[in-house]
Structure 1
Amino acid sequence: MNFELDPDVEEMRTMTVAFARRELDGRHQAAGGHEGAGVPFDADEFRRRWLLAGKQGVVGGVVPVEYGGSGLDAVAASAVMEALGYGSSDTGFAFSVAAHLFASLMPVVEFGTEEQKRRLLPALCSGERIAAHAITEPEAGSDALNLRTRAESRGDHYVLHGSKCFTTNAPVADVFVVQAATEPGRGFFGLTAFVVEADTPGLTVGPPYAKVGLRGSPTADVHFDGCVVPSANVLGARGAGASVFSSSMKWERTCLFAAYLGAMRRVLESTVAYAGEREQFGAPIGSFQAVSHRLVDMTLRLESARLLLYKAAWGLARGSEDEVGPALAKLAVSEAAVQLGLDAIQVRGALGVLEGEAETLLRDALPARIFSGTNEIQKNNIARALGLSGNRRRAGRR
């Protein structure tokens, strides 16, 4: 086993950290009224930074070179995301990049036709355009196969009706990957994925949400009212929507969460420095066992989560179909980020509850236990892989 990244990947990570510190700091985190009460979301500023990230090769990282990307594998992509989280306090922007790249572009890479790839991917990789993945609905969050958005086939096109919620990048998206039911009631085989241009008549986007965390990532509802989509915009094939979604989630549950590893390391380092400088009772608080042990626990959580994530990325890079690894990584990283945020606040005392990177990490970490499938759903999936599903238990009692 080799736990070191390739020299080229290390260099890329170093360059990404420098870029993030220079261009993606936390001064532009407002998205719908966040950093600073009542500050509106600045779409122009978001796009300015997005274009810079495109020139840096960040927003198209895992897309093959022939379509305008950098051709990174999952390990290298995770290293880049970790660098974004480490270099910038705006974890929300990194989250938007990941949602664009892993949940929206990778479905096109893996399921799109050659025409779709060449038409869509270059501008999405360069930063000229932004993508969003619309699947979650008010009545279909964890129950992702029970969508109410319908797509009716009418000759050479489909007509979409319905609404999506919690759609990352919706307020700035130029392209949507949309999941809709083409055969309601058929479960896994009843969904179809579509590529829908944002200016398609009948598609409207609501105002950006005000969220507890990830404030640099604009999120909104998306509505489809008689939205006509050409059949040529079906992604994969009719009825393959669930497969498209499952594939994208393996990427997202692994590579996206690497941004949290970077954010945790940044906050851990500043917390250790603070504990070495802050004095009480004539000594640095880091010399007190209660504080030093807390810092050791923070380090343990970070390093353990990092190993699980890179193991999952290593498997994904080699074509593994394993779903347990990404689920374990998602669980470990999200729970570690929340606890590390709490610990960072506790070490700082009263200063920890003031605006700063400790409380920002905690706010940004809270949604991580919800998106990409709640942590409870991840545990269900892992339990099922262990042979602990309810059906099997009931069968054993007969």
Structure 2
Amino acid sequence: MQLDQYSGHATLLEAITAQGEHMADTTADFFTPEEWEQCARLGLTGLSVAEKYGGRGFGFTETSELIRAFGRQCPDMGLVFSVAAHLFACAMPLYEHGSSALREQILPGLANGRLVGANAITEDEAGSDVAALTTTAERVAGGYLLTGHKSFVSNAPAADIFLVYASTDPDCRHLGISAFVVDRHSQGLTIGAPLSKAGLQRCPASWVRFDRCFVPSERLLGSPGQGMAIFQSSMRWERTCLFAAYLGQSERLLHRCVDHARRREQFGRPIGDNQAISHRLARMRLRTEAARLLLQQACRALDEGYRATSEIAMAKLAVSENAVQTALEALQLFGGSGILAGTGIEQALRDALPCTTFSGTSEMQLEQIAVELGL
């Protein structure tokens, strides 16, 4: 299979739809090199990276449609999440804010999947309050020395490249944060064992520690103190295109629930004939369509050059909360069989539960919407 075989949006969408359900080998604890390579062959590891660096050059709308199809077709959200985190939290900040030399050196490997990317920003005491991070970057001759501890770093056990946020001027809080591109084998970098998680299990995650880890000056992303702006820029991609995968999962669950309601019989008739069931499914459809439209609105606004702050927050909130609610409804509808491992229903719920927390909690999205209202 050649990369240029799926050069267009339509042909790539068709390929993802056809191949998605066969992508994941869920017998493995984490995503396998073979799975990652298959995603790379489809172009998923570089959808929104410019073509000159080996990507596809798609904007927010087209990228979100393709990630939505990936989430709808692929039975393993852990794999989907790993690819999306690699692309939106590591490759895109590098593409949008890196120097020409840094882009040319690293982006092609990230876009074609030869390199795996990870984002290291979260700390035990710095979650929603990103400005509270304690990892520091001390200026020395030729570069910086990073010291600190990062937690919940998705892809870390498999990553080749880390995008690390650290404070270059602690007194300035969020205005003193900078972003660095760090190689896996840098001296002073230690990667912890994979964490045991309730959801997104096949996306390996661990802590990462920096003990006076030297990073050359040319690996600084953007300018000193620009880290928060870079992070917020990457959040545009995460809160729209990454969450498109969860919209796809909700669509997949809705389809399964409708099929189950037609086939499953109790008391001599399909359970879908009961108004309690049919209305439940109708509301699932309503919430999913509303989330889809909000996501489309946000992506179109971003493609047109708007900040789209409220649109992004509303889309992220609607998609994530619908993902959890749809999975809960599916579990109720499938009853005892939904609890069984291997059916995919209970796994979908466990994969959905974290999505109202990462990339900005639901409360943070509501606060952002309120601020945009002038409150």
TM bucket by the smaller chain?
A: over 0.9
Residue of structure 2 equivalent to 1:304: 290
Residue of structure 2 equivalent to 1:15: 15
Deviation at residue 24 of structure 1 after TM alignment: 2.6
Say whether residues 1:79 and 2:65 are aligned partners: yes
Partner SS, residue 54 of structure 1: helix
Higher mean displacement: 101-110 or 312-321: 312-321
Residue of structure 2 equivalent to 1:235: 221
Equivalents in 2 of 1:46, 1:244: separation in Å?
30
Say whether residues 1:295 and 2:281 are aligned partners: yes
Residue of structure 2 equivalent to 1:372: 359
Contact kept in structure 2, 1:267 and 1:357, CA below 8 Å: no
Higher mean displacement: 46-55 or 176-185: 46-55
Residue of structure 1 equivalent to 2:39: 53
Partner SS, residue 130 of structure 2: coil
Equivalents in 1 of 2:83, 2:305: separation in Å?
23
Say whether residues 1:92 and 2:78 are aligned partners: yes
Deviation digits for residues 338-379 of structure 1, max 9, x if unmatched?
110111111111112212222111111100011001111111
Contact kept in structure 1, 2:12 and 2:42, CA below 8 Å: no
Equivalents in 1 of 2:39, 2:255: separation in Å?
25
Equivalents in 2 of 1:9, 1:122: separation in Å?
20
Equivalents in 2 of 1:351, 1:55: separation in Å?
35
Aligned positions of 1:314-329 closer than 5 A: 314-329=300-315
- Give the RMSD, CA atoms, in angstroms: 1.2
Go from structure 1 to structure 2 and tell me whether the alpha carbon gap of 1:332 and 1:352 turns closer, same or farther (over 3 Å shift). Answer: same
Contact kept in structure 1, 2:200 and 2:351, CA below 8 Å: yes
Deviation digits for residues 287-325 of structure 1, max 9, x if unmatched?
000011111111111111111111111112222212111
Residue of structure 1 equivalent to 2:368: 381
Go from structure 1 to structure 2 and tell me whether the alpha carbon gap of 1:263 and 1:347 turns closer, same or farther (over 3 Å shift). Answer: same
Contact kept in structure 1, 2:130 and 2:174, CA below 8 Å: no
Contact kept in structure 2, 1:137 and 1:165, CA below 8 Å: yes
Gapped regions of structure 2 (runs ≥ 5) = 1-7
Equivalents in 1 of 2:21, 2:102: separation in Å?
35
Deviation at residue 217 of structure 1 after TM alignment: 0.7
Residue of structure 2 equivalent to 1:166: 152
Residue of structure 1 equivalent to 2:115: 129
Deviation digits for residues 54-95 of structure 1, max 9, x if unmatched?
121110110000011011111111111111111111011111
Deviation digits for residues 110-149 of structure 1, max 9, x if unmatched?
1101000000011111111100010000010010011100
Gapped regions of structure 1 (runs ≥ 5) = 1-7, 32-44, 389-398
Of the three residues 171, 187, 196, the one matched with 2:173 is: 187
Deviation at residue 25 of structure 1 after TM alignment: 5.3
Say whether residues 1:117 and 2:103 are aligned partners: yes
Equivalents in 2 of 1:241, 1:250: separation in Å?
15
Deviation at residue 98 of structure 1 after TM alignment: 0.9
Contact kept in structure 2, 1:25 and 1:88, CA below 8 Å: no
Residue of structure 1 equivalent to 2:259: 273
Contact kept in structure 1, 2:109 and 2:115, CA below 8 Å: yes
TM-score, normalisation: structure 2: 0.96
Residue of structure 2 equivalent to 1:260: 246
Letter in 2 for 1:364: D
The size of the alignment, in residue pairs, is: 367
Deviation digits for residues 90-111 of structure 1, max 9, x if unmatched?
0111111111111111111111
